[in-house]
Amino acid sequence: MDQDFSQMTKRQVRNEAGDFQESYLLAGRYILESQLDGIAFVRDGWMNPINLLPRSELQAVGYRVIDDNLERVYRIYVDQLDNMEPRSQVVLADVEELKFEFLDGNAEWQENWQIKALPKAVAVTLKQMNAEPIRRVFLVPGLGKELTKPVNDGTNQSQPNGRGTP
């Protein structure tokens, strides 16, 4: 989840008819046919060395709960023009709660995200049967691939990821 959320990018997805969805992020009850909350977005950084495969480095991903299993759902191609069903893999079993919250530009947590822009962060609350809930906050790179300006401290590192200049 950390790699997916930390590489979320601004890319709208086209459906089978070729129409773009209205926002970069879809979240809410029954998204991706989830029995609880679900979330779907596009991430960057899906390695394709020397363009070996006929796809980009973008990937449509999502998380949902089916039959009490947390699943990561993904598509080979971002747009849904190929009529292929998304692939899924079980991440965690015995999940009885999955909830998403979104940090807006005013530093306030929202339970719903209806804005086209990406949130500043996404909080995931997950509870397995017979266990205490876990809440994890993931920072979102709201500018897509762009990094913020380098820190002028002589270390040649950019914020927030510390990977240096682009």
**Cα dihedral angle (49, 55, 56, 59), rounded to 10 degrees?**
-110
In a domain, 150, yes or no: no
C-alpha 127/C-alpha 98 separation (Å) is 7
In a domain, 63, yes or no: yes
Segment-wise mean pLDDT, segments of 10 residues, the chain, 166 residues: 90 70 87 95 74 70 97 84 82 97 94 91 97 96 47 39 39
pLDDT of residue 33: 94
Question: What DSSP state is assigned to residue 21?
Answer: P
Give the domain range for residue 89: 2-139
pLDDT of residue 150: 37
In a domain, 48, yes or no: yes
Answer yes or no: are the C-beta atoms of 139 and 161 closer than 8 Å. Answer: no
In a domain, 147, yes or no: no
pLDDT of residue 155: 40
For 32: left if phi > 0, alpha if psi spans -120 to 50, otherwise beta; the answer is: left
In the chain, the number of structural domains is 1
Q: CATH number for the domain including 99?
A: 3.10.610.10
pTM of the entire predicted model: 0.77
C-alpha 86/C-alpha 9 separation (Å) is 19
pLDDT of residue 53: 61
In a domain, 158, yes or no: no
**Cα dihedral angle (37, 34, 91, 139), rounded to 10 degrees?**
-30
pLDDT of residue 69: 98
